[in-house]
A and B are shown apart, each in its own frame.
Chain A
Amino acid sequence: VSAMRTTVLVVDDDADFRGLAAFVVASQGLIAVEAADCGECLEVLRKDPERILAVLLDYYMPGMKPGPCVAGIRELLPATVPVVLVTAAVDAGQRARELGLTHWLSKPFDLDDLRAILRAARSEDAHPAI
């Protein structure tokens, strides 16, 4: 089942960022699915949660607040699938901890950092820790 996780869900209200993230995801041989807000994100997850390798989640988005959004994602995805907070907020780490997330990227970031996170996700997916 784990070999099927090849999709990265990019959730951000900034279309340019979604495009950039999708390009990096594709360059890693993965599939990017874009969502402009949390509602769209949850819709995608409900349809096909088995294929999701990671979620790149923005903090400030119209609609649902980050807390309930993360809770909704966690209900639909196993804990082994990383949810990465990608935000331009000043204190990205603090906000990630508040949401119970262990991965985050602070905008602007080096694309290699995103690639490293994707590689780690794929590696974890291939060799899950017991």
Chain B
Amino acid sequence: MWPRVPVSVGRRLTTLVVVDALTLLALLAVAVLALSRGSADLGYMRRYVLPPVEALPKAIDDAARLEVALRSDPEGSARTVRVQDLIGEIDRFASQYRSDWVVLDNPAEDAARFRRILQDAHRTGLMAQERTALDALFANLTHLKQPGASRDELVTNAAAARRALRSLLDVNAQYVVVTQEAINGRAHTARDWLILIGVANLIGATLLGLAVHRAIAPRIRRVVKQVDRFREVGVYDQLTDSGRDEIATLAHAVDVGIRTIAARDREREQFLAVAAHELKTPVTAIAGYAQAALENPSDMAMRDRAVSIIHRNAGRLGRLIEDLLLAASARSGKLRFDPKPIDLASLTRRSVQEVEALVPNHPFELHTPTTAYLLADEDLLIHAEWSLLSYAAALSAPHAPIGVTVASLPGRVRLEVTLADGRLTESEISRALSPMDFVQYEENGGLRQTGLFLCREVAQVHGGSLRIGHSPEGKAAVTLELPA
């Protein structure tokens, strides 16, 4: 589904990274929480649960020694200093236990927390056992401290106190087990959460990664395939990508690039075909007339005519080759360009004068300011003006005036040539600008040809433009505009 949604590649990858980052944060949070809880549990255990377990064996030992001391008392008074010390030790332990470590009814925070643990573990019965044992301990201590009791009674009380202490030890041992189970349970819960989040992230990241892959990889493969096909067999097939993301932009750019290269290839082939055709035409005349003259050495009229035609076509061939080289330079962007200040008004007056001498049937109406300076390559500009004027003469009826206007405008200079005849068709305009395509016409008994392709290239190399259109009066007009 994802590939059809117009989501950018960057956004898809960002989503992937954000999901991973959030998962990592969750993992860290769970780990930190588990560690802090574990640390708190260990501190709690060391502070509240373990101390009575550590103290109880000594109290039990004291109770056992008390019992032995009472049994071995020959007087039976049971009030020796040692007996009193042992009773005092046990009594201090019992008092500390009741104040610090007892769980039931203990207002201390640690006790309350432990009660919750016992509730969660369903072991609240241990608190009753502890209370019973502690009560029994205190009752027997009270009897032991009472004067006048017989030795046997004291021995019995000491034994009962020892059993109560033993029972407390058993209860506290259970407390340790419950606490350990609670800590282990939390550790397991944290571990389960870490595993769950990790697995969820693994699945989620994999699915997201696959979705991103599905959304990108096939389209990139298509682009690469098209490029390979074009490179290997030179066939251009339109590359379409209906998406609206970076891949679609890339595909479009590649398509435009390939299309441009294909168009340039076609244009080059057309250029070569036209160039070959144009070159072969004078070569045919040269070779044919040379052969005819050689085959008829005694025909002087034929020889003179052949020499004349060969001479003319050799000149035509030379101009074609020059134009061909200029066109090739223009096409490769290497047109020689040597700019210097030129007065276009003066240059145009001279060009019109020269062209007019060659085409006396075509009068030119010249309108120029006194001066119109610009920075330009003189040779190229002369070539462009000759092309323009010849083109106008070729397409104008004899004796119809051709308008030539030079205008100096802010930041630019304009040369407009208005043809005497009517409108040009799109086809004629296109042909005029085709590389090496010429309008041929006969003038003064000779064949002439002209085209505007090089004129446009000259304009472009100067940073200007060449437009073919129509004047407000509806006459065809060619406008060369160059920066001043």
Q: Which residues of A contact B (CB under 8 A)?
A: 13-17, 19-20, 23-24, 60, 62, 87-90, 107-111
For A16, give its contact among B276, B278, B302, B309 (CB under 8 Å).
B309
A-B contacts, 7 of them at CB < 8 A, read A15-B447, A17-B284, A62-B440, A88-B278, A107-B281, A108-B284, A109-B284
Question: In the complex, are the beta carbons of A17 and B281 less than 8 A apart?
Answer: yes
Question: In the complex the two chains form, what is the Cα distance from A19 to B305 in whole Å?
Answer: 10
Chain A residues positioned under 8 Å from B64 (CB to CB): none
Residues of chain B within 8 A of A88, CB atoms compared: 276-278, 280-281, 284
Cβ of B263 under 8 Å from chain A: no
Across the interface, do B442 and A23 meet the contact criterion of CB distance under 8 Å?
A: no
Contact A23 B292, beta carbon cutoff 8 Å: yes
Given A88-B276, A107-B281, A107-B284, also A13-B440 (CB < 8 A): yes
B434 CB to closest chain A CB, in angstroms? 12
- The interface residues of chain A lying within 8 Å CB-to-CB of B287 are 108
Query: Are B277's CB and A24's CB within 8 A?
Result: no
Q: By CB atoms of chain A within 10 A, which of B284, B287, B305 has the most?
A: B284
Task: Looking at the assembled complex, report how far the CB atom of A29 sits from the nearest CB atom of chain B, in whole angstroms.
Answer: 15
Contact of A111 with B284 at beta-carbon distance under 8 Å, contacts A90-B273, A90-B276 already known: no
Interface SS of A by simple majority: loop
Question: How far does the alpha carbon of A107 sit from the alpha carbon of B284 in the complex, in Å?
Answer: 6
A17 proximity list for chain B (CB < 8 A): 281, 284-285, 288
State in angstroms the CA–CA spacing of A111 and B276 once bound together: 20
- Interface pair B292/A111, CB less than 8 Å apart: yes
Q: Evaluate contact between B292 and A16: CB separation under 8 angstroms.
A: no
Selected contact of B447 from candidates A16, A60, A107, A108, CB within 8 Å: A16
Q: Which residues in B have their C-beta under 8 angstroms from that of A15?
A: 442, 447
Q: State whether the Cβ of B216 lies closer than 8 Å to any Cβ in chain A.
A: no
Q: A-contacting residues of B (Cβ < 8 Å)?
A: 273, 276-278, 280-289, 291-292, 295, 302, 305, 309, 312-313, 440, 442, 447
Bound-complex Cα distance A13 to B305 (A): 19
Using Cβ atoms and an 8 Å threshold, which residues of chain A touch B288? 17, 20, 24, 108-109, 111
- Picked from B285, B289, B292, the residue with its CB within 8 Å of the CB of A14 is B285
B481 to chain A minimum Cβ distance, whole angstroms, is 30
The distance in angstroms between the C-alpha atoms of A110 and B280, with both chains bound, is 13
Separation of A67 and B285 alpha carbons in the complex (Å): 26
C-alpha gap A60/B273 in the complex (Å): 12
CA distance A24 to B283 in the complex (A): 17
Q: Are the CB atoms of B291 and A111 closer together than 8 Å?
A: yes
CA separation between A14 and B440, bound complex, in Å? Answer: 9
Q: Please give, as numbers and ranges, the residues of chain B lying within 8 Å of A13 by CB-CB distance.
A: 440
What residues of chain A lie closer than 8 Å to B282, measured between beta carbons? 16
Q: How far is the CB of A90 from chain B (nearest CB, A)?
A: 5
Q: Which residues does chain B contribute within 8 Å of A87, judged by CB atoms?
A: 277
A115 to B470, CA, bound (A): 49
Residues A60 and B277 in contact, CB atoms below 8 Å apart: yes
B298 to chain A, nearest CB (A): 13
* Residues of chain A with a CB closer than 8 A to B283's CB: 107-108
Contacting residues, chain B, for A16 (C-beta < 8 A):
282, 285, 289, 309, 312-313, 447
Closest 5 CB pairs of A and B: A88-B280, A108-B284, A107-B284, A16-B285, A20-B288
Q: Name the B residues within 8 Å of A107 (CB-CB).
A: 280-281, 283-284
In whole angstroms, how far apart are the Cα atoms of A111 and B295 in the complex?
10
How far does the Cβ of A9 sit from chain B's closest Cβ, in whole Å?
A: 18
Cβ of B442: which chain A residues have Cβ within 8 Å of it? 15
A62 to B305, CA, bound (A): 26
Q: What is the bound-complex CA distance between A107 and B292, given in angstroms?
A: 15
Min CB distance B297 to A, Å, is 14
The answer to whether A23 touches B302 (Cβ under 8 A) is yes
On chain A, the residues within 8 Å of B291 by CB distance are 110-111
CA distance A90 to B275 in the complex (A): 10
Docked complex Cα distance between A56 and B287 (Å): 18
Inter-chain pairs besides A16-B282, A20-B288, 20 sampled, C-beta below 8 Å: A14-B281, A16-B285, A16-B309, A16-B312, A16-B313, A17-B281, A17-B288, A19-B305, A20-B309, A23-B292, A24-B288, A60-B277, A88-B280, A88-B284, A90-B273, A90-B277, A107-B280, A107-B281, A109-B284, A111-B292
CB-defined contacts of A110 to chain B, threshold 8 Å: 291
A62 contacts across to B, CB distance below 8 A: 440
Q: In whole angstroms, what is the CA distance A19 to B283 when docked?
A: 14
Which residues does chain A contribute within 8 Å of B295, judged by CB atoms?
111
Q: Smallest CB-CB separation from A12: which chain B residue? A: B281
| Contact between A24 and B292, CB atoms less than 8 A apart | yes
A102 to B302, CA, bound (A): 32
